[in-house]
Amino acid sequence: MQGDCTHPRTEFLARRDGVDYLRCLDCDQVLEADDLESVPAVDEDRDLDR
């Protein structure tokens, strides 16, 4: 089971149609950079709403 991997370590595979493709070094899964950016780490919009 690889469902719990958060892909903390990735290597760059290729860029295609404006999308960066990465491969996780831990679970070997191929990811789109957009998928990783969707992880709720930094929410820039919130600072504007203070």
Q: Which residues bind Zn ion (CB under 5 A)?
A: 5, 7, 24, 26-27
Structure-block tokens of residue 44: 């820039």
* Ordered strands of the 10-16 beta sheet: 10-16, 19-24, 30-32
In angstroms, the CA 40 to CA 17 distance is 25
**Nearer Cβ to Zn ion, position 3 or 49?**
3
Q: How far is the CB of 29 from Zn ion (least distance, A)?
A: 5
Beta carbon nearer to Zn ion, 5 or 13 = 5
**Residue nearer to Zn ion on the CB measure, 8 or 45:** 8
